[in-house]
Amino acid sequence: MKIAMLTSGGDCQGLNATMRGVAKTLYSEVEDMTIYGIADGYRGLIEGDYEKLKKSDFSGILTLGGTILGTSRQPFKKMRDIEENGVDKVKAMKETYKKLKLDCLVILGGNGTHKTANLLREEGLNVITLPKTIDNDLWGTDVTFGFHSALDIATDVIDRIHTTATSHGRIFVVEIMGHKAGWLTLYAGIAGGADIILIPEIPYDIKAVKREIDRREAANKDFSIVAVAEGAISLAESRMSKKEFKAYREAMKQPSIAYRVADEIAQDTDYEVRVVVPGHIQRGGAPSPYDRVLCTRFGSYAAHLIINREFGNMVAMKDGVITAVPLSEVAGRLKTVPTDSQMIVAARQIGISLGDK
């Protein structure tokens, strides 16, 4: 049996641990097993940049962050475009697959990665995918690997900000990753004891944010922690067309949404406001113990799908059980936070403001 693996899109914790789970299971259960590593995601598949991996390549990587294969972003919307040098990317990827005489291509990635993976499935390639993203926004799985590791880091940031916020009586705006979904900000905000949480799914009213800070001030709480998803939007922005929103954001003076929220809070008040943007720190370092276990389970299950030739699926967790979800159902669908979810209800019940009232 011959397979190849690639990691695509942004890196995160658990990529190596997941590949290890796939490889160790296959080496254990398939007598004649060959595994290729594709360099830098779909770029390597397009350019034929790969190498044959050894069993030893999968040793010592359970706790290693990043990806031993390298990664890159290859926008799905451009996959069908012919390059200036005449390269047909889809054709090139199929040729690499056929050249290696693969039984299966194993792809680890997020939303954009899964769109291209589904395209390759439609083109006749045997594909198995694994759900990677710290945003936890992939459709079809309760949790993605990388999410819990990033959650630990984001929560730790908020924990540490608490001490300086209370010492100085300041307002701290902490920007958490998540462009289109607020899972990471919501969970980290609750876990870290944030007072206000702003996520893309619930447009915020800056007046409501200020009212909550004023309420806390009146209750002799002279500091507040505002956890803001990088994709948070205001009430006014939520009413704009895509074109209007894009132009509005391009004209925004501040470098990111956290800085804008901080400026809005400080305007016409005496509050001392500071901004913290942990950024890519949230994606780096070793996977958490939870993710190490999850990645091993995902990887082992993927191996069995390959052995049983159950291609065209994404490995997922549903109600605590590892299972397979048709790739056709996953590609192009985003999993956002339901505004009536138990997590949202719980946040409101314990007094956390979500910036909307």
Which residues are catalytic, by number?
135
Quickly list DSSP for 223-262: -EEEEEETT--BHHHHTS-HHHHHHHHHT-SSSSHHHHHH
Q: Hey, what are 103's tokens?
A: 């039984």
Centroid of chain to Cα 323:
20
Cα separation, 318 vs 229, whole angstroms: 26
At 158, is the secondary structure helix, strand, or coil?
helix
Which DSSP symbol is given to 152? Answer: H
Those residues whose C-beta lies under 8 Å from the C-beta of residue 330, and which sit 6 or more positions away, are: 114, 118, 129, 138, 139, 140, 314
Q: With contact defined as beta carbons under 8 Å apart, do 195 and 212 qualify?
A: yes
